[in-house]
Structure 1
Amino acid sequence: MNFNIELEKRLSEIEEILKDYLPKEEGYYKKLMEAMNYSILAGGKRIRPMLMLETFRLFEGRDINILHPFMAAIEMIHTYSLVHDDLPAMDNDEYRRGRKTTHIVYGEAMAILAGDGLLTLAFETAAKAFNMVDDTLEEAHIIYKRIIRALQILSSKAGIHGMIGGQVIDIESEGHPISKDRLDIMYLLKTGALIEASMMIGGVIAGAGDDEIRTIESIASDIGLAFQIRDDILDVTGDDKILGKPVHSDEKNDKSTYIAIMDIEQAIKEVSSVTDRARKAYESLPYKNEYLESLIIKLMNRDK
């Protein structure tokens, strides 16, 4: 398997799915849709819908059309969080993914509304999965239950006890010493929650069992933690042209990071430890997906 070729195939597939669910730029409030589309079409790795898709394939899911609305929805939620995160009241960043952030291009008020619009549209989009079910199928009621469970996971992981809770810890920790335990919880919520949602939804829609979903949640949690620690490392060692955003922004914003509580070598060891734990959990599953396994390792050891 050539990973880079497979990656391009999947990115192209995901981009087409996203375009199917984006709002049309028309009407008296089309500027809102323009700002929403500007935000979500700014590029990016599309990690969350890709992990959702590959977990679905890991568990040999059949009706992929039911998954598509959730793939679009998770990217909308992730994008809304970035739009709001970049605002002056939060991180006050001017560049994201190599181009100007939404509030710089459209103004703060429109950026807030674009974020709100993406979050609301995400759940409107996810609910379209119900329309994909063939009511004549004998197992239709089972598929409906899977969709309901997937919606519960999506709302929970994106909410106050998930991503938003992590953002709150982040804001309240600025300028204050923070313990490693508190930092880990912040990362597990702020970054890990949506990755957990992605992989869990992929498994649920495919029909994975409860024990398998718990294992997937554990793996996803470790992916999120390792990903965020790598982000801390790259903020110090990376190149802003490669990253698509300014380096040293964490220091500028007085953010709590792994580099603030330990040196880079220790942080790298933490990534290695978390990666090993995730790999062992993955190997315990009875199913295998070569591309997913490679993707997980690359995400945890990324350089951009």
Structure 2
Amino acid sequence: MTLAEQQQHYRQRIDGYLGALIDGLPALAPNLKAAMKHGLLLGGKRVRPFLVYSTGTMLGLDEPRLDPMAAAVECIHAYSLIHDDLPAMDDDKLRRGQPTVHVAFDEATAILAGDALQALAFEELAKCQVASIEAFKALLVLFSQAAGYQGMVSGQAMDMAATGQTLSLAALEQVHAHKTGALIRASVLMPTLMAGSAPEHVEALATFSEKLGLAFQVQDDILDVTANTETLGKTQGKDQRDHKATYPALLGLNQAQTKAQTLVDEALSCLASLPYNSEHLAALARYVITRER
């Protein structure tokens, strides 16, 4: 199966699962439910569910067992985008080629939709089947840290604080290792807890995911310079206009592209040490820096 076919398979699988999940919620607040669905199911690359499914199946887990885990990471990702797009933060009007949630609905509903999706993520995580209570605790800690203060949320705070500043390369990497990388890392490592993987394999996958997360962000920064709004599905050039700290701004476009390639090469070398067929993960790593949106 090609990467494109695998991506389509996992996208259809997780979209079907998430659609049924939202549709199955009681009609307590229909407008809120519609806003949740808008933020969760209106397109997207589904990179994080892809990582959950590809890592898990590589380790011998079946797809139905991985569904709640994939749903949990995508719910967290969707909530973060809904809140990031708000006027109080990035003030974006367009996401995945469609109006952002606060534009399609209103700001209060967007805040509540994000809140509800965050809670739904932990409800899904509770469905994950692991071998022991200790493994479940480790899963919960990993996921909570990736989504919260020690991961994505602090990354967003650091990114906002860095607006208009010139950061060192190390400082910029710290921002994006948290903002983007933490949830990508969790998407790769959570299946290892379910599978009971050997420590040396977990270590290799951890390093792979960290390199991949940074490469993903470097390419995002590059696309803000080189792509157009129609292709991106979000406002092109906004990072520059908002004086955001980015890799092209710090390194220049050519050096940023070299940095992305180096990160992917390092990620691929981590996979080479594993006694598994990791071709789907390798193909995704290569895709991350060749994608156009």
Tell me the TM-score normalized by structure 1: 0.92
Matched, 1:75 2:74: yes
Matched, 1:247 2:236: yes
**1:260 match:** 249
CA distance in 2, matches of 1:23, 1:5: 27
Residue in structure 2 matched with residue 7 of structure 1 by the alignment: 7
Q: Specify which of 203, 206, 215 is matched with residue 192 of structure 2.
A: 203
Paired position in structure 2 for 1:225: 214
**1:42 corresponds to which residue?**
42
Tell me, yes or no, if the aligned pair for 2:7 and 2:50 is still in contact at 8 Å.
Answer: no
Q: Which runs of 5+ in 1 are unaligned?
A: 134-141
Structure 1 equivalent of residue 170 of structure 2: 181
Would the alpha carbon gap of residues 239 and 144 (structure 1) be closer, same or farther in structure 2, given more than 3 Å must change?
same
Aligned AA for 1:45? K
What is the rounded CA distance, in whole Å, between the counterparts of 1:224 and 1:190 in structure 2?
Answer: 9
The 2-side partners of 1:22 and 1:76 are apart by 11
Give the fraction of aligned pairs with identical amino acids, expressed as a percent.
37
- Correspondence 1:279-294 to 2 at 5 A: 279-294=268-283
Which residue matches 1:216? 205
Look up the match of 1:193: 182
Take 2:9 and 2:28, find their aligned partners in 1: how far apart are those partners?
Answer: 37
Contact 1:57 1:289 in 2 (8 A): no
* Structure 2: distance between partners of 1:20 and 1:293: 31
* Distance (whole Å) between structure 1 residues aligned to residue 25 and residue 55 of structure 2: 33
Total equivalences in the alignment: 293
Shift of 1:23: 5.3
- SS of 2:140's equivalent in the other structure is helix
Which AA in structure 2 matches 1:5?
Answer: E
Rounded to whole Å, the distance in 2 between the matches of 1:99 and 1:254 is: 24
- TM-score, normalising length: structure 2: 0.95
Distance change >3 Å, CA 23–CA 186, structure 1 → 2: farther
CA distance in 2, matches of 1:149, 1:35: 32
What amino acid does structure 2 have at the position aligned with 1:172? A
How far residue 26 of structure 1 moved from its aligned partner, in angstroms, is 4.7
Distance (Å, rounded) in 1 between the aligned partners of 2:152 and 2:15: 24
CA pair 246-106 structure 1, distance change in 2 beyond 3 A:
same
User: Could you tell me how far apart the structure 2 residues matched to 1:53 and 1:151 are?
Assistant: 18
User: Residues 107-154 of structure 1: CA distance to partner in whole angstroms, max 9, x if unpaired?
Assistant: 111101111111111101211225xx7xxxxxxxx3544333222211
Distance in 2 (alpha carbons) for counterparts of 1:166 and 1:5 = 32
- In structure 2, distance between residues paired with 1:120 and 1:25: 13
Aligned to 1:154: 143
Contact 1:223/1:300 (8 A) holds in 2: no
Report matched runs for 1:52-63 at 5 Å: 52-62=52-62
Residue 51 of structure 1 corresponds to 51
Give unpaired runs (5+ residues) of structure 2: none
Q: What CA distance in whole angstroms lies between the structure 2 residues aligned with 1:283 and 1:28?
A: 50
1:8 CA displacement: 1.6
- Give the CA RMSD over aligned residues: 1.6
